[in-house]
Amino acid sequence: MSGTFQDIDVPPTLVSFAVDMAVEKEQIREFLDIESSELKNFIDSIDAEALIAARELILQAEQNHNRVHVTGIGKPGHVAGYAASLLSSTGTPTYELHGTEAVHGSAGQVLSGDVVIAISNSGETTELKATVETLKSNGARLISLTGKADSWLAKQGDVTLIAGVNQEGDAMNKPPRASILAEMVMLQSLSILLQNAKNLTPQQYVKWHPGGSLGASIKESGDR
């Protein structure tokens, strides 16, 4: 091996890769800066009184032996699934309601007096409008979660929670990114209010979440 490092020609592809890496790191940093700014602005604007009103609506429904459901279309539909799981595990049994199947029979899972949390960033999603109209006509109470305070959905709610952002995180400003995080933070905040109202303890929590590292950590700590 007589050659030295200086004698080795660096393939153009590696040079290009290094340049591309620098550009891509800048793209990631730009995205994260936007996300950070949007979330901070959103968190600073959260209406605590609206969250408290949502909690009270749910607690009142539970006292009347009614239930809680969460629904949405598209990405908010996935948020609905997460919210149903989170609320259920922290003391508020909650059912995910498919956003479009509701008008094809699944609305039957919602009884008069039940609370439905309906999620739509625009507040104008056509399919969700049909679902909300059906549920309200059947006597459901509505918590609207939307990014637009003047939207159709915002005007339908018994309680309205605003989780709005100006920038989603990229040049198109279309694919839902920051708005999804805002919706999740709002629902997490609601879960905290409900959890504290019910004085949730580790002993209760582990009954609903005995598996995984979370369940094991409670059992090992002796908080059962």
Residue 1 has pLDDT above 80, yes or no: no
Q: What pLDDT is recorded for position 218?
A: 80
- Torsion sign (Cα): 100, 102, 105, 109: positive
CA pair distance 193, 206, nearest whole angstrom: 19
Q: What is the CA radius of gyration of the chain?
A: 23
User: Could you tell me the pLDDT band of residue 4, with boundaries at 50, 70 and 90?
Assistant: low
Read off φ and ψ for residue 142, nearest 5 degrees.
Answer: -120, 130
Lowest mean pLDDT, pick from 81-95, 154-168, 196-210: 196-210
User: In this predicted model, which residue has the larger pLDDT, 215 or 224?
Assistant: 215
Lowest mean pLDDT, pick from 16-30, 111-125, 147-161: 16-30
Read off φ and ψ for residue 144, nearest 5 degrees.
Answer: -90, 130
Per-residue pLDDT tens digits for 157-202 = 999 999 999 999 999 999 999 999 999 999 999 999 999 999 999 8
User: In this predicted model, which residue has the larger pLDDT, 18 or 83?
Assistant: 83
Per-residue pLDDT tens digits for 38-64 = 999 999 999 999 999 999 999 999 999
Residue 224 has pLDDT above 70, yes or no: no
Residue 7 has pLDDT above 90, yes or no: no
User: Could you tell me the pLDDT band of residue 222, with boundaries at 50, 70 and 90?
Assistant: low
CA pair distance 168, 173, nearest whole angstrom: 5
Instruction: For residue 69, give Cα distances in angstroms to 22, 157, 222.
Output: 46, 14, 34
* Residue 143 near residue 159, CB atoms below 8 Å: yes
Residue 14 has pLDDT above 80, yes or no: no
Q: What pLDDT is recorded for position 5?
A: 46
Q: What is the mean pLDDT of residues 120-146?
A: 98
CA pair distance 104, 77, nearest whole angstrom: 17
Mean pLDDT of the chain: 92
